[in-house]
Chain A
Amino acid sequence: MLGNGEWMGSIGERKAECSHEVVAMHDLSNYSSDPLSKAAEKINGDIGKRPLSEDEILVLACDEISHTYARAEKNYKA
């Protein structure tokens, strides 16, 4: 959702950050030495500042999956 008006900022700079070359640089190797939660925190901090790469979205998906739990992981057969 739209923010408080400060977002107008420097559109030109943001567009430079949006280039595909820059996005492609954010691959898994940028984050693999961090714990998963830390990597996700870094990526979340960039949301709204630049487009996320597919690898970054993958990390966010992993972080969410790591928080899913065992509900309904039961079968009827013992």
Chain B
Amino acid sequence: MNILIILPHNLGDVIMTTPLLEGIKEARRSSRVFFLVEDGFEAGLINSPHVNEIILFPRRTIRDLLFFSPWPDGAARLRGVIEDISARGLDLLINLGQSRYLSYIASLIKAEKKVGQSFVPEGAHGVADAWSQYLYAIPFGRRLNQLHAADVYRRIGGARQHRGGYTVSLAESEKAAAREFLTSRGVAGGAKIALFQPGAAYPSKCWPVEHFAALGAMLLQDGWSIVISGAPAEADRMQGIREGLNGACVDTSGALSFRESIALVSCAGACVTGDTAMMHAAAAFDVPVYALFGPTNPVETGPYGNGHRVFSAACNRRPCFCFECKSMLCMKSISPQTVYACMHDGKPPADVRCDCFRTILRHDGDYQLQCITGNNPYVDEAGALMIRRGFNEPADLPAVLCQEIAAHAGESRAVLSIISEMKTLLNRFLGSRDVHAVTAFEAKKGDLTGFTGIGAFWTALLNIRLNGIPVLDPVKAVRESLRACMETEDQLRNSLKGTQTPAAL
């Protein structure tokens, strides 16, 4: 079976697909796996035992041709890439990317079966499979998701079992080069190395430089060697830490590629980082990660593995996903003393001012955040379990959550009632061809917009399905809309099994 995975970027996201890749190979050892990744973002895949071929997508080259040459030159280049991929005789295409251009490309690549978003020539961006639809619905009910992105990817690709954790493979020569680099910078073999990653994709994800420096000073006292990793664009932050430590650290900025930095972190005894690609790379080598989370969600993109520590400050807007933040209170209130205590004593201090979590990979293969302090503010457990039941996942509803379950059940039943009426209207059209029934269907659909809890997730899921239906053939569109309503209705009913009606409470 020939399988193509599409996820061009970013570095961390690509590493998050590695449990899926392993699962595919485990399930179908004879399958050939191709991975389409943007040129420059392939570092986590090189030498992978689970990828037969990395196909580099020249997005920047195509974009430059579109801008600086007659644009048909860029189109011809893109056509060539698509034809080259199609020539592999694909049985399955899995598009994990959510960019619009990937939906068009997925549409043009020839494959027997497609999973994920793919443009339908009749005029809609379709998302055909339930778990990809789940992925697209998460932003409409973030607290209702308790699955890590890696575990959602596994489900999208139908890979349920895996060894546990990421797989990033280094050649012996790469490991040797990393050790040689450290030696050349004065870090003796066998030294305890703490790798700091002070930069991140955007400013609000960055822990303050002075916090890194304060933590570094404490670790130096304990005999750690500090190595700072980052891109040349992050040199200012790295310099700030270096100055804070009076130069007692190794600054690698501009000296190593990301792949070489991955080899470096494999030599470390700890990695202190925000939500970055380096965090995922460190987790891949089971290097203890101390992950500092602000605007993003450690449930979705935390360090995948066992025993890593996640810190998250008690901002009531988290996870806000803001690119920039004036106050940066969330990152600032994760104190260096708290991180140090976890590194030194294995637990946070008594006066901790942020939430601390431990990561685990459960026996069923899923990642989970366990609270060390406080509660998990990221997950509404009752709602998340109900939704997983809707996706045919075994999930017992704990009696202790009966009030939350009852509230969700009430809202779910209200959604169910509206969808039933929508179905009736579509059936009326199919029986009579009365166009007013479709107009009434549209009006009834508007009733779904008022939900803010679990109903908003179900509404989003239904809309993702309806939005993927082209209307070129109206009768066919109505039939497919009816199918979308029925599918959502079935899921709602599954999610409600065993819950009590309000009257019974």
Inter-subunit contact A2/B9 (CB<8 Å): no
Since A2-B441, A48-B471 are in contact, a sample of 5 more A-B pairs with Cβ atoms closer than 8 Å, ordered by chain A residue number, is: A28-B72, A35-B71, A36-B66, A57-B121, A62-B78
Chain B residues in 8 Å Cβ range of A15: 473
Inter-subunit contact B477/A2 (CB<8 Å): yes
Instruction: Give residues of chain A (21-78) contacting chain B, Cβ–Cβ below 8 Å.
Output: 23, 28, 32, 35-36, 47-54, 57-62, 64-66, 68, 71-78
Q: Does residue B361 face the partner (Cβ distance < 8 Å to A)? A: no
- Specify the chain B residue showing the minimal Cβ separation from A14: B472
Shortest CB distance B105–A (Å)? 6
Inter-subunit contact A2/B478 (CB<8 Å): yes
- Specify the chain B residue showing the minimal Cβ separation from A53: B121
Q: Which of B10, B79, B254 contacts A77 (CB 8 A)?
A: B254
Q: Which of B101, B232, B469, B470 contacts A78 (CB 8 A)?
A: B232
- Specify the chain B residue showing the minimal Cβ separation from A69: B63
Chain B residues in 8 Å Cβ range of A18: 472-473
Q: Which of A8, A28, A72 contacts B75 (CB 8 A)?
A: A28
Q: Does residue B466 face the partner (Cβ distance < 8 Å to A)? A: yes
Inter-subunit contact B101/A64 (CB<8 Å): yes
Inter-subunit contact B471/A51 (CB<8 Å): no
Inter-subunit contact A76/B258 (CB<8 Å): yes
Most buried by B among A1, A8, A28, A52: A1
- Specify the chain A residue showing the minimal Cβ separation from B82: A58
**Cβ contacts B474-489/A at 8 Å (1 or 0 each):** 1101100100000000
Inter-subunit contact B104/A48 (CB<8 Å): no
Enumerate chain B interface residues (CB-CB to A < 8 A): 9-11, 40-41, 59-60, 62-63, 66-67, 70-72, 74-75, 78-79, 82, 99-101, 104-105, 107-108, 119, 121-123, 201, 229-233, 252-258, 260-261, 433, 435-436, 438-439, 441-442, 463, 466-467, 469-475, 477-478, 481
State the CA gap A3–B99 with chains docked (Å).
25
- Indicate whether A50 sits within 8 Å of B472 (C-beta atoms), given known contacts A5-B435, A28-B75, A77-B260: yes
Chain A residues in 8 Å Cβ range of B474: 2, 7-8, 11
Chain A residues in 8 Å Cβ range of B10: 72
Enumerate chain A interface residues (CB-CB to B < 8 A): 1-5, 7-8, 11, 14-15, 18, 23, 28, 32, 35-36, 47-54, 57-62, 64-66, 68, 71-78
Total A-B residue pairs with C-beta atoms closer than 8 Å? 146
- Specify the chain B residue showing the minimal Cβ separation from A77: B257
- Specify the chain A residue showing the minimal Cβ separation from B234: A74
- Indicate whether A4 sits within 8 Å of B258 (C-beta atoms), given known contacts A57-B108, A72-B9: no
Inter-subunit contact B107/A2 (CB<8 Å): no
Chain A residues in 8 Å Cβ range of B201: 71-72
- Specify the chain B residue showing the minimal Cβ separation from A62: B75
- Specify the chain A residue showing the minimal Cβ separation from B10: A72
- Specify the chain B residue showing the minimal Cβ separation from A29: B72
State the CA gap A51–B254 with chains docked (Å).
49
Inter-subunit contact A72/B101 (CB<8 Å): no
3 closest A-B pairs by CB:
A78-B254, A64-B101, A61-B104
State the CA gap A77–B230 with chains docked (Å).
9
- Specify the chain B residue showing the minimal Cβ separation from A39: B71
Inter-subunit contact B257/A1 (CB<8 Å): no
Inter-subunit contact A65/B59 (CB<8 Å): yes
State the CA gap A32–B256 with chains docked (Å).
43
- Indicate whether A73 sits within 8 Å of B121 (C-beta atoms), given known contacts A14-B472, A61-B108, A65-B66: no
Inter-subunit contact B472/A48 (CB<8 Å): yes
Inter-subunit contact B104/A60 (CB<8 Å): yes
Chain B residues in 8 Å Cβ range of A28: 72, 75
Inter-subunit contact B260/A5 (CB<8 Å): no
Chain A residues in 8 Å Cβ range of B466: 1-2
Chain A residues in 8 Å Cβ range of B60: 73
Inter-subunit contact A61/B232 (CB<8 Å): no
Inter-subunit contact A68/B232 (CB<8 Å): no
Shortest CB distance B75–A (Å)? 5
Inter-subunit contact A66/B63 (CB<8 Å): yes
Chain A residues in 8 Å Cβ range of B82: 58
Could you write out 10 A-B pairs with CB less than 8 Å apart?
A7-B474, A8-B474, A14-B472, A15-B473, A54-B121, A58-B108, A59-B75, A62-B66, A76-B257, A77-B254
Inter-subunit contact A65/B9 (CB<8 Å): no
Chain B residues in 8 Å Cβ range of A78: 232, 253-255
Chain A residues in 8 Å Cβ range of B256: 76-77
